[in-house]
Chains A and B, each alone.
Chain A
Amino acid sequence: MQAIPHNRNTTSREMGMVILALLPGLVALSWIFGPGVWLHIAIMVPAALLAESAILLLRGRSPFTALKDLSALLTALLLAAALPPLLPWWMAVLGVLFAIILAKQLYGGLGQNPFNPAMVGYVILLISFPLEMTRWLPPTGLDGTTLSMGQSLQIILGNSDLLTLDALTSATPLDTMRTQISQGHTIQEGLLQLDSGLLAGAGWEWINLAFLAGGLLLLLRGTISWQIPLSMILALTLTALLFNIIDPAQFNTPLYHLLSGGIMLGAFFIATDPVTASTTPLGRIWFGAGIGVLVYIIRTWGGYPDAVAFSVLLMNMFAPLIDYFTQPSIYGAVKQKPSARSKQP
């Protein structure tokens, strides 16, 4: 077998780049919501690596080569970035186990899984523990009263009773807004209920901007291609704009949508997961656009406050179909003339 020269780019390096690019977002998260996210990472990463190794050993593979690809590490980080910062530790661990074992290894490991593992973990947690999964801290980082490491640790380890927790936590802006609107209030009234941020929900715009920065780095480095993030963001913007024009009192502005919840994390880090996304250039555009529109629909009319996870999983389902219908025309494709074809019986 001929050892063909290689550009020396490796899967491990690509994954490593994505992990690096996640850092600004993670820092922003912990700045706004306290160090919970780092605590989650500290328990979820070992859990993910252990789970991956255990399954690989069971399947009779060497865990080393698979761990080298860094994909388990990345899955744990992505899930941690999506979890509420005070989620009890065992739920976080459960989520990452679902992600690694159920969503990835049971399908045959990296590359074989149809659904984004981190998002599968997230959605299972959301369905199983709706209360805990929607309980976010107020963005205390903005006024300098974030929970300390010790306090976060106490809560995550379950050493505080729910009462103090309820006092501490609040719903996310998206959640509040949903409740307000469903109670017949307008957007303006809803915004008054929130510690309104500069552009969107308080604090969230900084987190989204930080993830955006990391995402742009990935784009510049060529680690991800532009089609999915751009089409997702454009589709969400246009849909939001359309409804916002129809009835500004009922429907929020595009900017609000773009900078709330997990949009930038989703657009640059989750929807771009190559394994579960479309692979053809045109297919990626449809894939991203589908997520953008679905996010808007689920946020506005669905039963859950944020929608990135559901939208990504839904589009994961369609990725093979999209790929099938968007195969690029190959060099020298013999183009059949429609007239010639219609002449055939």
Chain B
Amino acid sequence: MSRPLQTFHGGIHPEQQKGQTRAVPLQPYPHPGGELVIPLNQGIGSANRAVVAVGDTVRAGQRLSECFTPLSVPIHAPYDGTVTAIERRPLTHPSGISCLSVVIVPDDDTSPPAPTTDLPASTSSASLDALLATLSTETLIERIRMGGIIGLGGAGFPTATKIRKGEAQNIETLIINGMECEPYITCDDRLMQDHSDEIIRGIEVLNQLLKPTEILLGIEDNKPEAIAAMQRAATASSARIEVVSCPTCYPSGGEKQLIQILTGKEVPSGGFPHQLAILCQNVATVYAIYHAIEERPLTQRSVTISGDGVAQPGNFHVAIGTPIRPLLESCGLTDQPVSVTVGGPMMGFPLKNLESSITKTVNCLIVNKSATSPSQNSPLNCIRCAACSDACPVSLLPQQLYWATQARNFDEAQSLHLFDCIECGCCSYVCPSYLPLVDYYRHAKGTVRNQQREQVKADHARNRHEFRDARLQREKEEKAKKLAAKKAALKAKKANESRAQHESSAVEADKKATIQAAIDRAKARKAAL
């Protein structure tokens, strides 16, 4: 606790809005029947391939897909049930695209989604310590991967891949992120209060895998109960875990900001924490890691449902694949039209389709009555007041980035470090002219990425074209050569033939001559007689 903390540049103090849900313990959300829609594509990896077929019956925890790249992890069935369809369904994603999904209808007597606390280890009753003592590192990491674990803080990076990278780098500092700095969200807060032991067990798994020299669990000081609970649980652990209370200031929960707060180090621009021998994991991910080691794959996650558009806000363990509409209805969705934000109000995105379902990266749904949500002030001109650069945790110059991105001068934007922007939205929050600054940066990043992709494609195409030309040329040459060879062969053959003919005719002529000579001789003899 007495650890000297650093601060990051800027930051803001938005209204917390956590009061609505912070006192509501995490409860399992009972599935109301009906479909579960589990997208094959979650997190950042490429899409999986389903290994079940329509009509198959599946058991809770059964793997539904296989995956082919290190960046994707499989998905699992949350309940016993029947696969009724494998088809494209709307995905909970900023773009509102649809994605190939496995649709399951759970059996009537739905078992609670695995894993919950009161569920005994489904396949192995051995305690975690025994598992850690007997299983090889490789097996442990493979269980995390096959358990379908990705970063649950929102990034969706496959945890096993992150651990492998960290393992190769000899991690010294393991940082567990319990900051939860976004307004409204309290599910990590509740997870730390209600499941502190399981989080600690998850940390022990990472401790065993990475053997760091220190383990720091950072929690914002607006969550005293969570800090107390984690401290209590940490003292009982074999791993040396330091629970650090950090000043509340958005975006302290950003990975880079948390690293700066706890260690004073800065992740190099364009680099990764493991270059500093640091690895960060979110508390919800650590909780899921523990269950994955005991072979309970990730089939549910904790979700905060809040906002003035629901009558009973709260925190729930929700099965992955649960459609959002019935979930919100069971929380008392108002009849009025609502706007739903997925994730926090600062970095989240507006939900396009209430029929899409909970994925592994959805940590919060904020339901607001559209009528009363503050109408966006119309943007005025930028007055270059620099309030935005004072607030930027990365020390960028958002107003200059704004001019550059608005003029679609993306080279300039990149030299102003566009890609170091963490899209935290602090600049938009303070801009007195109400400019939607971060939207400009997101859009610019997307455009630049597309351009780069196009460039790669074009390069690729050009390469292919050149390659093809070269191949054609080579083929032509080869053909010509072959042709020439054939011709030569033909010629030679002909020559041979003609020579043979010639020879044979010569032989013939000889023969004829001999015959003639014989006839002549006979004639002569006759005449002499």
Contacts and interface: CB of A to CB of B under 8 A. Distances in A.
Nearest to A111: B381
B183 interface: yes
Interface string A50-86: 0000000000000001101101000000000000000
A331 B266 contact: yes
Interface in A1-22: 1-7, 9-14
B contacts with A: majority SS: loop
Interface string B373-390: 110111011111111011
Contact of B268 (A14, A274, A332): A332
A10 B432 contact: yes
Nearest to A333: B269
B420 A331 contact: yes
A4 B345 contact: yes
A279 B382 CA distance: 12
Contacts of B394: 330-332
B397 interface: yes
A293 B270 CA distance: 41
A18 to B, nearest CB: 11
Contacts, number: 131
A6 B373 contact: no
A13 B380 contact: no
Contacts of A277: 384
B223 to A, nearest CB: 20
Interface residues of B, number: 55
Interface stretch (A87-95, A148-156, A321-329): A321-329
B271 A332 contact: yes
A279 B399 contact: yes
Given A1-B439, A2-B349, A332 B266 contact: yes
A170 interface: no
B395 A331 contact: yes
Interface string B414-425: 000100100001
Contact of A1 (B350, B381, B431): B350
Contacts of A6: 374, 377, 428-431, 434
A4 B184 CA distance: 13
A116 B284 CA distance: 53
A3 B439 contact: no
A63 to B, nearest CB: 13
Contacts of B12: 7
25 contacts: A2-B341, A2-B349, A3-B373, A3-B374, A3-B376, A4-B345, A4-B346, A4-B429, A6-B430, A6-B434, A7-B14, A9-B387, A10-B432, A11-B383, A14-B385, A65-B380, A69-B380, A111-B381, A111-B382, A279-B400, A280-B386, A280-B397, A330-B395, A331-B420, A332-B394
Interface of B: 8-9, 12, 14-15, 183, 256, 260, 266-271, 341, 345-346, 348-350, 373-374, 376-378, 380-387, 389-390, 393-397, 399-400, 417, 420, 425, 428-434, 436, 438-439
Q: Give 5 nearest A-B pairs by CB, closest first.
A: A111-B381, A274-B385, A279-B386, A331-B394, A11-B432
